């Protein structure tokens, strides 16, 4: 650290790959500069970060993990991690965080999953809850694979796994609307309480850039509760840009 008087020190926290808290000192200097010192318990070392934008990014942290139970994250080829940002499928899982609903979102592809950890997880000591729910849905994410409809086109498809049942699947076209999709969207945006938790929304990639594919999963024990809330739906209209159906028997 350069020779300059300190005007203030603030203590905050970020996290490492194992979601362990890392204390971070934000040090304001009298010359207007700023320093950031972080201690990482994973390696037992402290280090200085000079890029404030990097430190800000780590506050909403992306944790990367393996979807293969036989392969540790550190054994994954870097190419598979790098491909996430270009080819990853998206997901959001909503779960009960002790009286209110918390949504964790991320991307996944083949053997790799990355998910965002918001500040409130650390503020309310919910790290173990996040790890638990991600571990539960890994089995579902690992089932997704690319299905060809011809040599050039296709889409990603997954199935029920790990005690979760796929209850809805379909796609909706750009600019289209549908009451059943809107009902799901309000839960996804946390505008309405979900009928059960956890509830997993997966948005698989496809070669059709004009539609959004979606799948919804709940625990097997919550299928009837979801069905009572959502009902039976089986609707397809190419001209209206909608294809949605319930799949309660997809175990």
d(CA 152, CA 208): 11
Domain positions in the chain are 6-59, 63-246
Whole-model pTM: value is 0.76
Does 198 sit behind a cis peptide bond, omega within 30 degrees of 0 on the bond before it?
yes
pLDDT digits (tens, 9 = 90+) for 88-109: 999 999 999 888 899 999 999 9
Sorted by sequence, the CB contacts under 8 Å of residue 158 that are 6+ apart come out as 140, 141, 143, 144, 145, 166, 202, 204, 215
- Tell whether the model's pLDDT for residue 222 goes beyond 60: yes
Place of tokens 């949605």: 244
When pLDDT is cut at 50, 70 and 90, the band that residue 56 belongs to is very low
């Amino acid at each position: 650290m350069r020779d300059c008087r300190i005007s203030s020190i603030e203590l905050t926290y970020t996290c490492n790959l194992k979601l362990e808290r890392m204390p971070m000192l934000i040090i304001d200097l009298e010359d207007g500069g700023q320093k950031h010192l972080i201690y990482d318990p994973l390696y037992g070392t402290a280090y200085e970060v000079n890029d404030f934008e990097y430190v800000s990014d780590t506050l909403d942290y992306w944790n990367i993990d393996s979807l293969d139970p036989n392969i540790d994250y550190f054994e994954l080829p870097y190419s598979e991690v790098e491909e996430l940002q270009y080819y990853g499928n998206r997901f959001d899982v909503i779960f009960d965080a002790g009286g209110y609903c918390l949504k964790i979102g991320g991307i996944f592809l083949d053997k790799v999953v990355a998910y965002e950890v918001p500040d409130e997880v650390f503020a309310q000591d919910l790290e173990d809850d996040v790890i638990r729910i991600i571990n539960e849905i890994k089995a579902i994410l690992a089932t997704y694979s690319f299905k060809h409809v011809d040599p050039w086109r296709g889409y990603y498809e997954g199935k029920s796994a790990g005690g979760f049942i796929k209850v809805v699947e379909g796609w909706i076209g750009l600019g289209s609307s549908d009451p059943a999709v809107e009902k799901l969207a309000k839960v996804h945006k946390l505008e309405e309480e979900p009928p059960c938790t956890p509830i997993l929304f997966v948005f698989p990639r496809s070669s059709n850039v004009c539609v959004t594919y979606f799948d919804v999963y709940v625990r097997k024990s919550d299928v009837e509760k979801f069905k009572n809330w959502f009902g039976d739906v089986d609707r397809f209209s190419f001209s209206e840009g909608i294809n949605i159906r319930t799949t309660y028997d997809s175990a």
